[in-house]
């Protein structure tokens, strides 16, 4: 089915329902990912609002595959691209911020970093780590994202999601069965917004924590490189970076992909890498760590699309 739809000249776009948002054909997805690699989307759909998204899901041909991408920070799109329709929630409707005391409801399309100013303004702390997680709000739940010894499951109150039939549900944190860097998040769910619980805090204290976290990242992680962040999950009780280092992987390279010299759990596109280079480098690391320790590292970076 994918081969039939993907790359056809007679137009997947012509099969799709009329919407108020925008359809764009054959869009290069590399520009939407932090790695800066990956093939095209057959059609990119940018819905105008929730109703527009519902219209699309209800009326589209059932056989057309749909893929949701967010900020692209924890994502590796393969060189063959993504068949069918790729959805990004870029419209202002999906980036709203609403406070209710120390609880804040955030649209799925909001960049995590854009939350900082509002937290300081409102004196709501306890969520500073969210500002340090790369990407957008909608991507937080699927992977139970976190950093600095905090994770989303600790602060999530509820979320509104839309299923593949355009139906909207309110779900609580207990519905996701959160574990370390994972959740029971169905592939056919689209996050519309999330509500997080913070605590009262002084603006200067919030600013201090955010600044300290930013400085730590600057000192220890390759933040100015083309990277997707931590490549592998930490096995229980262990550090992935240490296993990678001890397996002799610190200087590995494949094509234009290489292991960061600042943090060996970060893979880097030196500007000439393909998605295949990056994935092959990651799989090489998995094999070497397994040979050395009998531990199989699990990818934290989400891989999708077809190989070229």
Active site residue 181: yes
Extract the tokens encoding 254.
């494949």
Active site residue 300: yes
Extract the tokens encoding 265.
């759990």
The span from the CA of 45 to the CA of 164, in Å, is: 15
CA distances from 217 to 3, 105, 204, 213, 222 (A): 42, 26, 20, 6, 8
Active site residue 151: no
Selected catalytic residue, list 93, 128, 181, 258: 181
Q: Which residues contact 304 (CB under 8 A, 6 or more apart)?
A: 67, 75, 76, 77, 78, 82
DSSP helix/strand/coil, 41: strand
* Helix extents (H) in the chain: 2-5, 50-59, 116-122, 128-132, 139-142, 203-220, 240-246, 275-293
Selected catalytic residue, list 230, 258, 276, 279: 230
Q: Give the residue numbers marked as catalytic.
A: 181, 230, 300
């Amino acid at each position: 089915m994918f081969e039939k739809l993907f790359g056809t000249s007679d137009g997947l776009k012509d099969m799709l329902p009329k919407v108020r948002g925008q359809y764009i054909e054959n869009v290069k997805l590399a520009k939407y990912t932090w790695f800066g690699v990956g093939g095209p989307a057959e059609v990119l759909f940018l819905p105008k609002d929730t109703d527009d998204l519902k219209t699309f899901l209800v009326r589209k041909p059932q056989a057309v595959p749909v893929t949701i991408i967010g900020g692209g920070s924890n994502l590796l799109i393969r060189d063959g691209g993504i068949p069918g329709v790729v959805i990004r929630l870029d419209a202002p409707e999906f980036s709203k911020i609403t406070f209710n005391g120390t609880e804040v409801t955030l649209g799925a399309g909001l960049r995590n970093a854009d939350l900082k100013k509002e937290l300081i303004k409102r004196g709501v702390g306890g969520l500073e780590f969210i500002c340090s997680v790369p990407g957008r709000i909608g991507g937080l739940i699927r992977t139970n994202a976190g950093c600095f010894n905090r994770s989303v499951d600790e602060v999530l109150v509820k979320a509104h999601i839309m299923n593949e039939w355009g139906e909207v549900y309110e779900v609580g944190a207990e519905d996701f069965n959160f574990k370390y860097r994972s959740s029971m998040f169905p592939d056919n769910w689209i996050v519309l917004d999330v509500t997080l619980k913070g605590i009262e805090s002084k603006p200067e204290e919030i600013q201090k924590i955010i600044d300290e976290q930013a400085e730590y990242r600057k000192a220890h992680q390759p933040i100015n490189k083309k990277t997707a962040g931590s490549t592998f999950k930490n096995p229980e009780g262990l550090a992935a970076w240490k296993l990678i280092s001890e397996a002799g992987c610190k200087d590995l390279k494949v094509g234009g992909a290489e292991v960061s010299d600042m943090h060996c759990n970060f893979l880097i596109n030196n500007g000439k890498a393909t998605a295949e280079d990056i994935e092959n480098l990651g799989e090489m690391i998995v094999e070497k760590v397994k040979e050395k320790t009998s531990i199989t590292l699990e990818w934290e970076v989400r891989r999708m699309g077809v190989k070229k």
